[in-house]
Structure 1
């Protein structure tokens, strides 16, 4: 499968590669500014890159892909940039919906939808419904998402169930809270990638990534490719994941 003019990804999945990859897509603004263009130019380039990465997933054995599109902290950006991003999200959903459905991609959104405008939320709902029977790749888009916010919302719902007698306090353990998270239908990510040279997790999937492997790379998101994703998946396959245990 070709990816937008870049090197095709070989159709053999790396042995022992990750099943669930999560990506903090960073560097769009710097990519644009390095070219003398406004930050929104970089965001549009980054949105186009998502298609290539999604298309690469089946050949790499990636069943689940979760991408960080807009955080709860991103509202602090200029009104012009935020408005431009919201417009970009609406355009992305409208433009990509049919292709995602035809490629067998199931789309989900995680995050707090209350602050998003009604038109965008309607498009999100429609895309989720349109792709609900697909199973080739599960694409989860984190939109107005923050890990702490997610845990707080989940804890509130859990507390409501305890107060309402639907859940006993004695039954609450580390297996209980995940059932209240936005990602309750997804496996935890095996590999988390952050682009652009930053080495922090930025409030992304805090609970879910407790035992994820991390890759912090210098590539700015608009330059990220299916071939680089393959390289990272191959590297993941060489890691010894013990989950706190000692090898026999």
Structure 2
């Protein structure tokens, strides 16, 4: 082979210091298992819903645009509230399962619009707009994975007869009793969103013309999860690690 074909060793342009790592021995930890019936308090999934929202809005562009380059969107939820309207008593307690409710949802779509203006060789412009929405969905018993639980508060009042005349009541003396139950508030979790959108100028512009208003029609499929913290008792296996015997074991 000719000497002209020989290649010199390649020297890294940006060399850094490195150290080869040695493999370490590992194995499974031994476990101790025992049967228990624990009581736990955990978030329970009440419902998972896809809510379709349709909004229309006009967005002003300053300076005026000649062409829309890109539009990105995100959804922000400001409230997910469950309002019960039908109930089913749990045995003979003061607690009820919710069999029908209205799910109120509100928030906004944050749009980032990138567009070019009429200036030759002009920089891309950016317009951020928040498009608000609100509404409610109807949830029936079959829409719930698990029914929400709510405890009802109660109050009682006792009145007395007049001390000197048993024929008339005493209006200045009462006995009151109030029982208040504080419930876990159902709450929402944002799972995802799917946007279907049509953007256009209300007044059609010429190919090299400009427009200052962008009208948008958005159909948003909003995916939300509704949860409530509830308490359960169930058979389970408790697991704790076992260490090798030593001077202490």
Give the TM-score of the pair, scaled to structure 2: 0.17
Which one has a larger percent strand, Structure 1 or Structure 2? 2
Q: Which has the larger radius of gyration?
A: 2
Which one has a larger percent helix, Structure 1 or Structure 2? 1
